[in-house]
């Protein structure tokens, strides 16, 4: 099972945090502990390590005292960290990190730290398409992208149909704003004299 997914920069500032197990102490303390474990390792070392010191922070759902392992990858200025138990394959998790990064790259066109800061909701949605409840749902990047694009389109249509003053206009058949103009269209019409009585 995947117990936590964290993304933080090289300074230790968290950019995405998702826990799939209850935590016993503060999340900030746990993030600092994981950052100290990962950042102190040499670049040539293996990308996964046993972390028995994290067992006091994370309580597994079944409470059988599983040994936790940290699996991470460093991309430019970001660390992608997964905290898993012994049931997960370390190489499989490294591949899952790659799928997550590729999905973020396709959504943001070369993902960077600022994309995660300003579009955290979309980053969480991409993660939710890949992992739910600590279990892997999808690993096909094309399917993840399709689901994320469909959800974004549905959000835009929902917003446009619920808000008649939105500039998007909706354009959907039967939408509430079908007969209304956007404020910008109305103003342009008034200034040019189109539609004047």
Residue 70 scores a pLDDT above 80: yes
Question: Is 180 part of a structural domain of the chain?
Answer: no
Question: Is 109 part of a structural domain of the chain?
Answer: yes
User: Domain holding 49: CATH number?
Assistant: 3.30.450.60
Residue 7 scores a pLDDT above 90: yes
Work out whether the CA dihedral 87, 121, 81, 62 comes out positive or negative: negative
For 91, the token pair is 């190489």
What is the percent of the chain with per-residue pLDDT over 90, rounded to a whole number? 37
Question: Is 197 part of a structural domain of the chain?
Answer: no
pTM for the full model? 0.75
What is the percent of the chain with per-residue pLDDT over 70, rounded to a whole number? 84
pLDDT in tens, 14-53: 999 999 988 877 888 888 888 988 888 888 888 888 877 7
Question: Is 192 part of a structural domain of the chain?
Answer: no
State the distance between the two ends of the chain, measured CA to CA, in whole angstroms. Answer: 68
> Which domain, by its residues, includes 123?
2-160
- Tell me the mean pLDDT in the region 186-190: 75
Question: Is 111 part of a structural domain of the chain?
Answer: yes
Give the pLDDT confidence score for residue 136 in this predicted structure.
92
C-alpha–C-alpha distance, residues 84 and 63, integer Å: 14
- Tell me the mean pLDDT in the region 112-139: 91
C-alpha–C-alpha distance, residues 96 and 2, integer Å: 11
Higher pLDDT, 43 or 60: 43
For the chain, list the strands marked E by DSSP: 2-9, 14-19, 48-50, 69-75, 78-84, 131-132, 135-136
Question: Is 173 part of a structural domain of the chain?
Answer: no
Question: Is 188 part of a structural domain of the chain?
Answer: no
3-state secondary structure of 182: coil
Task: Indicate the number of domains in the chain.
Answer: 1
Give the pLDDT confidence score for residue 125 in this predicted structure.
92
Question: Is 178 part of a structural domain of the chain?
Answer: no
Give the pLDDT confidence score for residue 130 in this predicted structure.
94
């Amino acid at each position: 099972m995947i117990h936590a997914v964290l993304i933080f920069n090289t300074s230790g500032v968290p950019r995405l945090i998702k826990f799939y197990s209850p935590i016993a102490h503060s999340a900030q303390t746990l993030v600092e502990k994981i950052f100290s474990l990962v950042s102190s390792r040499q670049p040539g070392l293996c990308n996964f390590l046993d972390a028995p010191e994290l067992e006091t922070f994370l309580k597994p759902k079944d409470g059988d005292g599983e040994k936790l392992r940290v699996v991470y990858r460093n991309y430019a200025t970001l660390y992608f960290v997964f905290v898993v138990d012994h049931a997960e394959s370390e190489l499989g998790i490294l591949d899952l990190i790659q799928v997550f990064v590729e999905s973020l790259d396709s959504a943001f066109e070369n993902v960077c730290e600022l994309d995660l800061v300003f579009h955290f909701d979309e980053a969480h949605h991409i993660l939710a398409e890949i992992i739910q409840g600590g279990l892997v749902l999808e690993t096909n990047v094309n399917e993840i992208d399709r689901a994320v694009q469909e959800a974004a389109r549905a959000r835009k249509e929902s917003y446009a149909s619920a808000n008649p003053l939105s500039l998007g206009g909706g354009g959907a058949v039967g939408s509430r704003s079908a007969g209304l103009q956007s404020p910008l269209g109305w103003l342009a019409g008034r200034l040019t004299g189109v539609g004047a009585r």
